[in-house]
Structure 1
Amino acid sequence: MDLTFCEPQRTPSSRSNAWYETGVVGLGRMGRIVVDRVVEGGHDVVAFDVDETAVADASDAGATPADSLSELVEQLGAQKRIWLMVPAGDAVDAALTELEPHLDSEDIVIDGGNSHFEASLRRERETDAAYLDCGTSGGPAGAEHGFSLMIGGPEWAYETCSPVFDAVATGPDGHGRMGPAGSGHYVKMVHNGVEYALMQAYGEGFDLLANGRYDLDLEQVARTWNNGAVIRSWLLELCEEAFREEGSNLGTVADYVAGGSTGTWTVEEALTQEVPVPLIYAALAERFGSRSDRFSRRLANRLRYGFGRHEVARTE
């Protein structure tokens, strides 16, 4: 298709200010944010999801709707840039299988899900199109601020899509090419392992404060720490939010922490590479052991809602 210049609404990357048309497959929480930010960035989007209501909503937001993957491909023209935001696993393979007859070496597929890096390596080998594995961090807050994008794959494909990455990320500094295929999801895997350990550290600290010798307002503690203290962070802001909304005793938040796959992958890779990761391992073990009432796990449960709007398991 013709790459016609169009002034984007956000400041474009210094690498390029070209206008692009991008297909987005999967319009859940994260996929819809991708659509909105790409449209707001001055680029055209063709959107598809098995949920017709999600497609209609994306159309209302400025995307061109597609009733099927084949229709999405037809509307993209000769040079296809397709961003998959479907659940990791079989859904990615199913989408790639359906897309494969329509793609060639000049096309680009971006896998924005939480895929295992070895699955990304396999998909890169099996896909005729250039395959970019794109680790995505930021959760629903990315709708306002943009995501952090960790991308692996061919450099030419990354550079081609950089204007769109600028729009979806926090800007040019919010994304980077980590290396060849698999490296984007590899970096995201380790990111999640670090996230586990940070959540565990905050949880244990507040566990001691909650059960220590003083009757403390934990919202106030979190707010004070988050203003100039060495350990200030977004996760600590989410601790403050949790205590403000649930109370210092976390109310009915259950001692149960979901998730664990990416942390498991991180620990498995660390064992393979013989790199010690005791904090990440301990945090993973705490998740798997969340059967007795532990304050630290209850806080981690609530923090997952804060950054990803994951459902909060409750005791009542």
Structure 2
Amino acid sequence: MTSMQLGLIGLGKMGGNMAARLREKGHEVVGYDRSPDQRDVASLAELVDRLAAPRTVWLMVPAGGPTTNTIAELSELLAPGDLIIEGGNSHYVDDRRHADELSAKGIRYVDAGVSGGVWGRQNGYGIMVGGAAEDVAHAKPIFDALTPDSGGGYVHAGGVGAGHFVKMVHNGIEYGMMQAFAEGYELMAASDVVDDVVGTFDSWREGTVVRSWLLDLLVRALEEDPELKGIRGYAQDSGEGRWTVQAAVDHAVPAPVITAALFARFASRQDDSPAMKVVAALRNQFGGHAVTKSAGDPA
């Protein structure tokens, strides 16, 4: 594997584990984060100075303003031929705007949807890329190092914006799958028929058509807290679910399951429902989004 040098901005739960995996695979990572305890350099200017041209810089910062502001600052520091990879969860429309603005300065742009949560360092990440073929090829050693060792988990989905578009759809599908597991849990728990709800989910992990990593994580969460007493029935939506529903409206594509799952998350903010406890527990398992009961919450 060709060794590369990479600047990585944002060393949180995802970015920090990605940096560790890349280093384990033999790549040089120069990391920057607002937290002094995690970073290798103290500023974006220092990060750019540490990289050899043509530079490759990967962003793992929150979508929206933080990403836009970071790209704007980098655009004044990087040189023609350098490459920015936006690995957060930006809206694909924003990707196209960023790419156009950077192109005027000769700076290349690739968007990369990343899935894998806090388990990505160990298992590898799913990487969904959008951009020009030559720009994607330049960064391919980085993508190869981040994806699973089996060789799967990677797609060059299309031009700029395609990577985040398919990641958006991926997350919309994830909403629907999580909601289905959650409703199944609530139904079995509410019945007077099923004595072993946790064992039932565990049995589905082998030989059934619903076996999946999400199911594995659900069983893990239920083994830790079978009645989910320590988790609030509240599930935040990260933005991609809303964008997926909006894209479905824009393209006149019916998406009733994803839409209903999004609205169920809105409903979770009103009642502490058992189904939403499952969704919250699953998010906690794969992303570290802990939502536990506070002292003032009802039992």
TM-score (norm 2): 0.94
> Aligned pair 1:162/2:137, yes or no?
no
> Aligned pair 1:144/2:128, yes or no?
no
> Aligned pair 1:231/2:215, yes or no?
no
**SS in structure 2 of the partner of residue 216 of structure 1:** coil
* Rounded Cα–Cα distance in structure 2 between residues aligned with 1:212 and 1:22: 54
AA in 1 matched with 2:15:
G
Number of equivalences = 290
* Rounded Cα–Cα distance in structure 1 between residues aligned with 2:10 and 2:23: 16
* Rounded Cα–Cα distance in structure 1 between residues aligned with 2:283 and 2:58: 25
Query: Residue 61 of structure 2 is aligned with which of 66, 82, 86?
Result: 86
Query: Residue 292 of structure 1 is aligned with which of 271, 274, 292?
Result: 271
Q: Residue in 1 aligned with 2:240?
A: 262
Q: Residue in 2 aligned with 1:309?
A: 288
Structure 1 stretches lacking a partner, 5+ long = 1-11, 13-17, 56-64
Q: Deviations over 1:130-187 (max 9, x none)?
A: 1111101010000101110101011111111111111112144222211000000000
C-alpha contact 1:189 1:265 (8 A) present in aligned 2: yes
* Rounded Cα–Cα distance in structure 2 between residues aligned with 1:83 and 1:107: 11
Q: Residue in 1 aligned with 2:110?
A: 132
Q: Deviations over 1:193-238 (max 9, x none)?
A: 0000000111111111111132422221111000111100111111
Q: Residue in 2 aligned with 1:179?
A: 158
Q: Residue in 1 aligned with 2:38?
A: 54
**SS in structure 1 of the partner of residue 127 of structure 2:** strand
- TM-align CA RMSD: 1.3
C-alpha contact 1:19 1:43 (8 A) present in aligned 2: yes
Query: Residue 32 of structure 1 is aligned with which of 16, 29, 34?
Result: 16
TM-score (norm 1): 0.89
Q: CA deviation at 1:47?
A: 1.1
Q: Residue in 2 aligned with 1:61?
A: none
**SS in structure 2 of the partner of residue 253 of structure 1:** coil
Q: Sort the Cα spacing of 1:96 and 1:293 in 2 relative to 1 into closer, same or farther, 3 A.
A: closer
Query: Residue 98 of structure 2 is aligned with which of 111, 120, 123?
Result: 123
C-alpha contact 2:9 2:32 (8 A) present in aligned 1: yes
Matches within 5 A, 1:245-260: 245-247=224-226, 249-260=227-238
Structure 2 stretches lacking a partner, 5+ long = none
Percent identical:
38
Q: Residue in 2 aligned with 1:19?
A: 3
Q: Deviations over 1:43-96 (max 9, x none)?
A: 1111111111011xxxxxxxxx21211111111022100011111111111111
**SS in structure 2 of the partner of residue 187 of structure 1:** helix
Q: Deviations over 1:245-280 (max 9, x none)?
A: 111x22232221112421111001100100000000
* Rounded Cα–Cα distance in structure 2 between residues aligned with 1:50 and 1:204: 40
C-alpha contact 1:256 1:313 (8 A) present in aligned 2: no
* Rounded Cα–Cα distance in structure 2 between residues aligned with 1:35 and 1:253: 31
AA in 2 matched with 1:109:
I
AA in 2 matched with 1:252:
G
Q: Residue in 1 aligned with 2:256?
A: 278
Moved over 4 A (4+): none
